[in-house]
Amino acid sequence: MPIIRTEQLDKIYQDNGIPVHALQNITFNIERGEFLAIAGPSGSGKTTLLNLIGALDRPSGGQIWFAGQDLAGLNKPALSALRLHQIGFIFQAYNLIPVLSAVENVEFKLMLLGMPEADRRKRALAVLAHLGIGDLAHKRPNQMSGGQQQRVAVARAIVNDPPIVLADEPTANLDSSTAHALLDMMELMNREKNITFIFSSHDKQVLDHARRVVWLRDGMIVQDGRPG
């Protein structure tokens, strides 16, 4: 069973009363364990599609299934629970909590999941160490570089071993070498834990790392396959 399945997915926004088709007739599957990029120029619908896959928004038409479950049948509390338990999010702006240390940012998700304090601290420290940033555990975001903050964001996204991680332009604010190291790290997580990674990006480095690229233009899929 695909982890994500969409059928004739549409998303329409209203711009001063004029309908704007952000996505049109998106039909594709994403299998478990894929390392996939959604690519295309600005305004092609990349982030919109990622938001629909992550249950952050609802489609205007069509259907989307997450591990066989039709998202249209879930109410807001059920969608929130799905996002918390099943999906890790990595954002372009990192979205770390500025008053918390790295380890506190990572264990915040475990606190929401109800894990006891001692267990979540141990788990968060282990994930930071596994990603090679254990020395950052007690630093706050303003004491870290952009690349270090993004690594902490990755640790937070994977700390509960979700089946899927969604990353929206995760390398946009990073230099080339830092972006390459980050992508190598996420690829390792993909291979070690079989976490499905889905990127929204037009960064060539991301597309070179991806094992499948879905190209969008004007809200429609124009190409789907292996890069190159």
pLDDT range class, residue 126, cuts 50, 70, 90? very high
> Does 48 score more than 80 pLDDT?
yes
On average, the pLDDT of the chain sits at 93
Q: Beginning with the edge strand found earlier in the chain, give each strand of the sheet holding 18-30 in spatial order.
A: 18-30, 4-15, 61-66, 69-70
> Does 153 score more than 70 pLDDT?
yes
Distant-in-sequence, close-in-space partners of 115: CB < 8 Å, separation ≥ 6 = 107, 123
Domains defined for the chain, CATH in brackets? 4-225 (3.40.50.300)
Q: Considering only CA atoms, which of 60, 157, 45 is closest in space to residue 110?
A: 157
The full DSSP string for the chain is --SEEEEEEEEEEEETTEEEEEEEEEEEEE-TT-EEEEE-STTSSHHHHHHHHTTSS--SEEEEEETTEEGGG--HHHHHHHHHHHEEEE-TT----TTS-HHHHHHHHHHHTT--HHHHHHHHHHHHHHTT-GGGTT--GGGS-HHHHHHHHHHHHHTT--SEEEEESTTTTS-HHHHHHHHHHHHHHHHHH--EEEEE---HHHHHH-SEEEEEETTEEEEEE---
Q: What is the mean pLDDT of residues 10-27?
A: 92
Q: What is the mean pLDDT of residues 113-122?
A: 94
d(CA 82, CA 11) in angstroms, rounded, equals 21
> Does 228 score more than 70 pLDDT?
no
